[in-house]
Amino acid sequence: MASSQILVAVIGVVAVASVIASGAPPLQPPRIGADVVVMGYVPCNNGTSMKTGSAPGFPNAVVQLQCADDAVAGSATTDGRGWFRMAMNTTATLSSVAIGCELVVATPLASCDAALPATGTLESGLRLLVSMVFFPRGFSYVAPALD
Ligand SMILES: *[C@@H]1O[C@H](CO)[C@@H](O)[C@H](O)[C@H]1NC(C)=O
Ligand SMILES: *[C@@H]1O[C@H](CO)[C@@H](O)[C@H](O)[C@H]1NC(C)=O
């Protein structure tokens, strides 16, 4: 390959990499009128770091987005199969949402399976999936604090 061809190839790689790094078009999803979208699956189980589909879905569970500095907060209810989606406008940066926010399911697990605990919560950190769409890292059961 001639050196001019190599140079063109290098410039092409750099251009693609900078588009990916800046999140600029054409990689953006359709506009949905929100700065932050959180969507995912809540399992009806009391395990640790549970993945999507690792247990039956938790229907009608109230999922709250709680953040350290209250810069953004949201809430959604899961559908009949355990899926939820919430959209918020916020001035918080995406990195501060990823670090400072978590999902908390206040609805007791006993409401989807009477054999599961009636106290405690399911909680999960957030993972940036693409653009401004976050997904749960995996829900874990957190027993109530003893006091
Ligand atoms: C966010 O703000 C935009 C522009 O003001 C508005 O159209 C949209 O409905 C808002 N979205 C939410 C989830 O509040
Ligand atoms: C999960 O729930 C079952 C049934 O209530 C209980 O026996 C078990 O100890 C729980 N596991 C954890 C980690 O709390």
Domain range for 19: 1-28
Closest CA to 38 of 121, 137, 122: 137
For the CA of 35, the closest atom of ligand 1 is: 1
The pLDDT value given to residue 120? 96
The pLDDT value given to residue 87? 95
- Round to whole Å and give the CA distance between 143 and 71: 27
The pLDDT value given to residue 72? 75
The pLDDT value given to residue 19? 45
The pLDDT value given to residue 118? 96
Closest CA to 128 of 13, 57, 14, 23: 23
Contacts for 60 with CB less than 8 Å, ≥ 6 apart: 77, 78, 80, 107, 111
Closest CA to 89 of 35, 41, 50: 35
Same-domain check for residues 57 and 1: no
The pLDDT value given to residue 146? 77
Same-domain check for residues 57 and 8: no
Same-domain check for residues 77 and 134: yes
For the chain, the domain total comes to 2
Same-domain check for residues 93 and 41: yes
Whether ligand 2 lies within 6 angstroms of the CB of 118 is answered as: no
For the CA of 88, the closest atom of ligand 1 is: 13
Same-domain check for residues 102 and 48: yes
Same-domain check for residues 14 and 71: no
The pLDDT value given to residue 5? 55
Same-domain check for residues 78 and 63: yes
Same-domain check for residues 53 and 101: yes
Same-domain check for residues 52 and 16: no
Same-domain check for residues 109 and 58: yes
In terms of Cβ atoms closer than 10 Å to its own Cβ (0-12, 13-18, 19+), residue 35 is middle
Largest Cα separation within the chain, whole Å, is: 73
Position 147 in a domain = no
The pLDDT value given to residue 48? 97
Show the tokens assigned to 117: 């605990």
Closest CA to 139 of 127, 116, 122: 122
Q: Which of 89, 90, 91, 132 to mutate to test the pocket of ligand 1 (most atoms within 8 A of CB)?
A: 89
What string of pLDDT tens digits covers the 147 residues of the chain? Answer: 455 554 445 445 445 454 445 555 555 555 567 899 999 999 999 999 999 999 999 999 999 999 987 767 899 999 999 999 999 998 888 999 999 999 999 999 999 999 999 999 999 999 999 999 999 999 999 999 877
**Concatenated DSSP letters for 58-109?**
-TT-EEEEEETT-S--EEEE--TTSEEEEEE--SS-HHHHHHHEEEEE-S-G
